[in-house]
Structure 1
């Protein structure tokens, strides 16, 4: 059978979302209470919209907002708050049902972002239908497609308010590379990595990067003064239910 342009879920995920056993889902399918198609590998796949109807929840409406800035200076300058407010305004204009708002100050290549982890858990538990961000790199600097596929596998759409990313500065890319190098050098060399970081910092200055700051050149909340943020995690806040 040819799949239409929609999202499908495997039987195990459907059972978890509905709080039922896999055997019950199979009985429901046989009784016509729920319908499935077959994948090329002959696995049952269920239309996410039908599952939502069974849950009695609005189709594709439950939205989680995720906002992020890289540096402490950006957060101190209220850039994070303004980013969050822009997303909330965007959602309100489109009458999205915003159920959670996540925001944090953390590197876009960091591995220990608590608010992002909480967002992933929310999608995994079937509690949201949409993730709303400003730019793809707010979610992740590298590996964005993997996160997008994760969300899609749980019936969640990722929506960016800006479809086309603004032109990024050379300095921003250098800072992301510095973050990666710092993390790996710390793991490999421990205390000795401090001297290595100093050398990298000096190299950045020689490239003319000092004072260029963070963020997109076209981003109204771009940090125009601060140095690179190299922390893996980040200070974050979950705004909870609105």
Structure 2
């Protein structure tokens, strides 16, 4: 088909672009693509040679979904696989195009490989939706900041379970122990008697809380 100054109806233009005529009417209302001429009777006419002018923004391809899974490094790896399966089944039922990113590490660690990959994709505008099983699977502290970044980037956040994770108390106790380990090492030195005594007391409290 020649594209040199060939004026066509809205139906032919829609067929050429692979969209519905209703879509062209909506693009006209939004100022994205205007008819190039109108007949005396008011009918739209489009110039095929100008249907894809520079700067014309057609419908954007939907951004993919990322499902993020994490368990503590203390947990069996089988727990991580079960969490990934839950996310995969949910996304598949929704018929979403998705990728699963996973981490094996503490919720206090902000430098995990999977988390950095997720944040880079969100900041680059390559994510349309984030799916997690529980809020604390993302981060122990700071998840709200990630959610705010997602909102600013137009990323929908789906949390499958709003209640606490079944391992919440155990994971929190281990995270608290990790925090105290770091700060006691800074205050007293990793091998000091004060540091070791403090950590022994915290470990005892953690074990008692898990009984």
- Distance across 2 between alignment mates of 1:84 and 1:194: 42
Q: Which fold has the larger relative contact order, with Cα–Cα distance below 8 Å and residues 6 or more apart in sequence? A: 1
CA 198–122 in structure 1, closer or farther in 2 if over 3 Å, else same:
farther
Give the alignment's Cα RMSD to 1 decimal. Answer: 2.9
Aligned counterparts, 1:1-242, within 5 A: 32-33=31-32, 54=58, 56-58=60-62, 62-75=64-77, 78-98=78-98, 100-166=99-165, 170-192=169-191, 196=195, 199-205=198-204, 207=205, 209=207, 212=210
Distance 1:97 1:81 in 2: 20
Counting matched residue pairs gives 159
Preserved CA contact (<8 Å) 1:106 1:113: yes
Give the 3 Å change call, closer, same or farther, for CA 170–125 of structure 1 in structure 2. Answer: closer
- 1:146-188 CA-to-partner distances (Å, cap 9, x unmatched) read 1100111111122111123346664443222111222333445
Structure 1 residues not aligned, in runs of 5+: 1-30, 35-52, 214-242
Which protein has the larger Cα radius of gyration, Structure 1 or Structure 2?
2
Give a deviation string over 1:115-165, Cα, whole Å, max 9, x none. 101100001111110111100000011121111001111111221111233
For normalisation by structure 1, the TM-score amounts to 0.57
List gaps (5 residues or longer) in structure 2. 1-29, 34-56
